[in-house]
């Protein structure tokens, strides 16, 4: 079916506001990942969900960042009290399972700008 | 710091020429993957090479892996303008971490007509 879908594609908000970013993975994919990409940089891992297991939150930069995955499908990444350094493209990816050689399928990202 | 570091950071070639990008990493890996990112888009998986493989081909792509040097190279032959993009290597570490990938900083490739 369709690929990974992310919304919104762009978000501009004022410093201090909370934002929610949404990711709809490929149907049937049990693994879901969030990454952050700053301008001209590589991808920084944020959080990883696999099935019903506890998520790997080791990449979240601060307690202002949190993520949920409801029903093993859609995920939301929430950033509270946004700061200017949170400005980046937030990318979501999914893979069929946690197999070692599974490629990750990416959405086009949400470009977040904090004024 | 990034697990993978690509070299060069930017590469500009003429259409029809070959493009070679290199990636170095730090820790033992299970596999290494290459992804392409067009401007404003997400990443697209190109090719995966396992730690027990030395070379792999897919169409115009050729990937090599040298685990003793902790390095990989991606060769794109007979490049086309449509190959213009950023290319990232990503490593899957040997143990633990689920399917978490660690990405390098990328090589920006520009193929000119």
| pLDDT value for A44 | 92
Mean pLDDT over residues A77-104, rounded? 92
B10's CB contacts (< 8 A; 6+ apart) are: B107, B108, B109, B110
Q: Give dist(CA B39, CA B29) in Å, integer.
A: 29
Chain A hits for B106, Cβ within 8 Å: 41-42
| pLDDT value for A52 | 85
Tokens 């070959």 appear where? Answer: B18
Q: Give dist(CA A59, CA A36) in Å, integer.
A: 10
Q: Give dist(CA B2, CA B70) in Å, integer.
A: 14
Residue A51 has pLDDT above 90, yes or no: no
Task: Flag whether residue A68 sits within 8 Å of chain B, measured between CB atoms.
Answer: no
Q: How many domains does chain B have?
A: 1
The architecture of the domain spanning A5-114 is Sandwich (2.60)
- Of all residues in chain B, the percent with pLDDT exceeding 90 is 77
Mean pLDDT over residues A58-74, rounded? 93
Chain B hits for A106, Cβ within 8 Å: 35, 42-44
- Of all residues in chain A, the percent with pLDDT exceeding 90 is 78
DSSP category for residue B78:
S
| pLDDT value for B2 | 42
Residue B18 has pLDDT above 50, yes or no: yes
Residue B59 has pLDDT above 60, yes or no: yes
Residue range of the domain that includes B106: 5-112
| pLDDT value for B100 | 77
Mean pLDDT over residues A46-64, rounded? 92
DSSP-derived secondary structure for B5-27: EEE-SEEEEETTS-EEEEEE-SS
Residue B68 has pLDDT above 70, yes or no: yes
Average pLDDT of chain B? 91
Mutation site for A-interface testing, chosen from B3, B5, B101 by largest number of A Cβ within 10 Å: B101
Q: What is the CATH number of the domain that holds B79?
A: 2.60.40.10
Least confident range from A107-111, B1-5, B25-29: namely B1-5
Chain B hits for A100, Cβ within 8 Å: 30-31, 92, 99
| pLDDT value for B99 | 65
Q: Give dist(CA B76, CA A35) in Å, integer.
A: 27
| pLDDT value for B16 | 97
What are the distances in angstroms from CA B58 to CA A69, A83, B6, B48?
35, 43, 20, 10
Least confident range from A66-80, A90-104, B30-44: namely A90-104
The residue of chain A nearest to residue B89, with distances taken between CA atoms, is A42
Sign, CA dihedral B60-B69-B103-A74, equals: positive
Task: Flag whether residue B96 sits within 8 Å of chain A, measured between CB atoms.
Answer: no
């Amino acid at each position: 079916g369709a690929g990974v879908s992310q919304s919104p594609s762009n978000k501009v908000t004022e410093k201090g506001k909370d934002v929610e970013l949404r990711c709809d993975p490929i149907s049937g994919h049990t693994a879901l990942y969030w990454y952050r990409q700053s301008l001209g940089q590589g991808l920084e891992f944020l959080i990883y969900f696999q099935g019903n297991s506890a998520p790997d939150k080791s990449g979240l930069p601060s307690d202002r960042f949190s993520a949920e995955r409801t029903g093993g499908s859609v995920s939301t990444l929430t950033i509270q009290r946004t700061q200017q350094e949170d400005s980046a493209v937030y990318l979501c990816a999914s893979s069929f399972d946690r197999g070692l050689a599974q490629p990750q399928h990416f959405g086009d990202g949400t470009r977040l700008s904090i004024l | 710091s990034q697990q993978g570091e690509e070299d060069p950071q930017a590469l500009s070639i003429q259409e029809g020429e070959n493009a070679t990008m290199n990636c170095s990493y730090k820790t033992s890996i299970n596999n290494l993957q290459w992804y392409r990112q067009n401007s404003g888009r997400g990443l697209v998986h190109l090719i995966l090479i396992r730690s027990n493989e030395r070379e792999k081909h897919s169409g115009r792509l050729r990937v090599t892996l040298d685990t003793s040097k902790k390095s990989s190279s991606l060769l794109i032959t007979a490049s086309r303008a449509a190959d213009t993009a950023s290319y990232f290597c990503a490593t899957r570490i040997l143990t633990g971490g689920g399917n978490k990938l660690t990405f390098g900083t990328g090589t920006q490739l520009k193929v000119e007509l």
